[in-house]
Amino acid sequence: MAEILLDIRNLHARVEGKEILKGIDLTVRRGEIHAVMGPNGAGKSTLGAVLTGKPGYEVTEGSVTFAGEDLLAMAPEERSWAGLFLSFQYPVEIPGVGITNFMKTAVNARRKAQGLEPMKAPEFLKLMKEKMALVQMRPEFSKREVNVGFSGGEKKRNEIFQMAMLSPVLSILDETDSGLDVDALKIVAEGVNSLHTPETAAMIITHYQKLLDYVRPDIVHILKAGRIVRTAGRELVEEIEREGFDKF
Amino acid sequence: MGHGHYIEPAFGREVHRVGAGERLDLDFVILPGQPRDLRIEVDLVGEGAEVNLRGLYLCPSDEQVSITVILHHRVSGCRSSQLFKGIVGGTAKVRFDGTIIVAPDAQQTEAYQENHNILLTETALVETSPQLEIYADDVKCSHGATVGRLNEEEQFYMRSRGIPEAEAKILQMISFLAPVTSHLPETQAAAIESALRSIL
């Protein structure tokens, strides 16, 4: 079996005093694609937020190990440098900050943390161009402000673009399929699939099976009321689609 | 004809009269550690006169800054725009008083004023008081004042991409000030960026 990348043990977390995660156990190995499915309010997005260190989410019990390190002890930026990436359900608009400057700052901050020199401009622009092509973004895209005035589909493609730029070891996609038409969904799926290697892993958090038609999960979890109530292979997706979450 | 200049803000008064068809551009920058009491008076006295006032202030420690602007539209067909932005932290105190007076004869006046502030600490204080005194009826006037904080959702988004917290805040502050700094000489903009870096 491949090496364990993410190990979540008995994770409890609360938001504004309310316990949302009530003891999650989940193990992701390199090369695997996991789907975390569940009804609204199950704690799916909270799981993504806790793993990326969003302020306001308090871990009250349990542990999370990422590539052998204590993930919960790291600041959000350190988690990114370690290779964690979250595709936001609601990507944030940053007026006045251009995408090129934003990405350059992000890429070079990580290089600095790794003891590397900043990336040279031609090399950086080549990388931008290549990754924009991956999500079918037109050249003007690089001149826009981060997510400002973007359509729903553009925002999600921008998330996958950033993911491609940062080439994470573990990508968490939080409801990336919500609000996407089939064309945008395919672009997102192709992006995710093309970045997948035996060394990397992905966790797809979703309500529907839509994205899972294009990105095939190896392992499927059902999250309900803050606990994982079932873990199985991809056949579980069809079972949920047929019978809903109620029976679990 | 137009003329503009960058004023070195000091304790004192700037008084300007702008005549028919003339344009005045005034910019000022107050860097950290510069307590100031600045008063700017502009009279638009000739038809078609135009004035653009822009300023920014960085007061991260214990600065006391007072800015007073009195803009008088005395005749018709003049235009004025004002944009002042500030970042205030520590125990600094900033007071902004901006008055626009539109005289009874000053029809077809356009007058805009904005003052926006970001507070970095609970102990910093901004008092902003924009005032319009309009005695003509055919005018377009607006004013707006805000006092807010750096957006934490934006910060988390940037940090999740590996941008350190301090760098995320600097990006936010640079973009907040951009509508003013984009009009300043390159050297001034660079001085502002390095001042922002020293704040955090």
Query: Is the predicted pLDDT of residue B173 greater than 60, yes or no?
Result: yes
Question: Is ipTM over 0.85?
Answer: yes
* Chain B residues closer than 8 Å to A95 by CB: 175
- Min Cα separation A85/chain B (Å): 7
CB burial of residue B1 (10 Å; 0-12, 13-18, 19+): exposed
pLDDT 10s digits, A5-25: 999 999 999 999 999 999 999
* Residue B186 pLDDT exceeds 60: yes
Q: Do B178 and A91 touch (CB under 8 A)?
A: no
Residue B49 has pLDDT above 90, yes or no: yes
What is the model's pLDDT at position B1?
37
Q: What residues of chain B lie within 8 A of the CB of A55, using their CB?
A: 152, 156
* Nearest-by-Cβ selection for A77 from B154, B162, B178: B162
Residue A182, SS3?
helix
CA-nearest residue to B153 within chain A is A92
Q: Are A171 and A32 in contact (CB under 8 A)?
A: no
pLDDT tens per residue across all 248 residues of chain A? 899 999 999 999 999 999 999 999 999 999 999 999 999 999 999 999 999 999 999 999 999 999 999 999 999 999 999 999 999 999 999 999 999 999 999 999 999 999 999 999 999 999 999 999 999 999 999 999 999 999 999 999 999 999 999 999 999 999 998 888 898 899 999 999 999 999 999 999 998 888 999 999 999 999 999 999 999 999 999 999 899 898 88
Which residues, listed in sequence order, are joined to residue B155 by a DSSP beta bridge?
Answer: none
Q: Which two tokens stand for residue A246?
A: 């109620």
- The pLDDT, as a whole number, for residue B40 is 94
Nearest chain B alpha carbon to A98: B175
Look at residue A226 in the predicted model and tell me its pLDDT. 97
Q: Does B171 touch chain A (CB under 8 A)?
A: yes
pLDDT of residue B7: 67
Q: Residue B101: which of B152, B139, B63, B128 has the closest Cα?
A: B139
| Spatial separation of the C-alpha atoms in residues A4 and A125, rounded to whole Å | 34
Model confidence pLDDT, tens digit, residues B122-171: 999 999 999 999 999 999 999 999 999 999 999 999 999 999 999 999 99
Size of interface A-B (CB pairs under 8 A): 70
Structure confidence at residue A207 (pLDDT): 86
Angle (CA) B146-B149-B155 rounded to 5° is 135
State which residue of chain A sits closest to B165, comparing Cα positions.
A77
Closest CA of chain A from B165, distance in Å: 8
Query: Model pTM?
Result: 0.91
Structural domains for chain A: 4-243 (3.40.50.300)
Give, for A29, the enclosing helix (H) or strand (E).
strand A18-29
